[in-house]
Amino acid sequence: MNRTARFVPAIIVLTLGCDDPSGLRAQGNVTLTVRQTGQADGRAALALPPDTYIDPPPGIGRGFFGTCVRNGSRWTVDLARADSDPVGLRRVTLEVSEGAGAAAPSAKFNLGGTEYVGAAECTASATANADGGVELRATCANLRASADPRAVDATLSLSLIRCEIR
């Protein structure tokens, strides 16, 4: 088989999905401050540069995968790292309602193999933006996980476009 003929399928596979104009995009930061008595505070973060493409689950290893769905006035965002970092911030799930009198937010942060969950500990806002997206802001204080002596504070500022609207 001709060498060029062997590389053409590989090049086609690599270019599929690149610069998909209709796919979910995000930018922003999620930062955790991890506190434990007797130790210096630690940090873990997800940083999404402008126009970061979010692969649909389960992802193909390009950086991030996840979903953004609006159902009525409730936004659900679930973002995860596609790499295999066993100790860092791996996944963020946030549910936030728009508007006055909105339902309480809920948040989950997977740090390594531990999941920190917050609801009453969190304040959040969601504002619809152009192109079917949302601007999310959230802070959570003193999140705990069972059987883990650490406490986590979270700050989230994300902008997503081309979310799924139901």
pLDDT for res 21: 55
pTM, whole model, 2 decimals?
Answer: 0.82
What is the pLDDT, as a whole number, of residue 11? 35
In tens, the pLDDT along 62-113 reads 789 999 999 999 999 999 998 766 778 999 999 999 875 567 899 999 998 8
Distances (CA, A) of 72 to 76, 136, 160: 11, 16, 17
Can you give the pLDDT at residue 79? Answer: 95
Give the type of residue at 132.
G
The 3 state secondary structure assigned to the chain is CCHHHHHHHHHHHHHCCCCCCCCCEEEEEEEEEEECCCCCCEEEEEEEEEEEECECCCCCCCCEEEEEEEECCEEEEEEEECCCCCCCEEEEEEEEECCCCCCCCEEEEEECCEEEEECCCEEEEEEEECCCEEEEEEEEEEEECCCCCCEEEEEEEEEEECCEEC
Give the rounded percent of residues in the chain with a pLDDT score beyond 70.
83
- What percent of the chain has pLDDT above 90? 64
Residue 41 has pLDDT above 70, yes or no: yes
The pLDDT, as a whole number, for residue 87 is 78
- Break the chain into its structural domains and give their ranges: 24-165
Q: What pLDDT digit, counting tens, does each position of 139-155 carry?
A: 999 999 988 999 999 99
Which pLDDT score is estimated for 85?
67
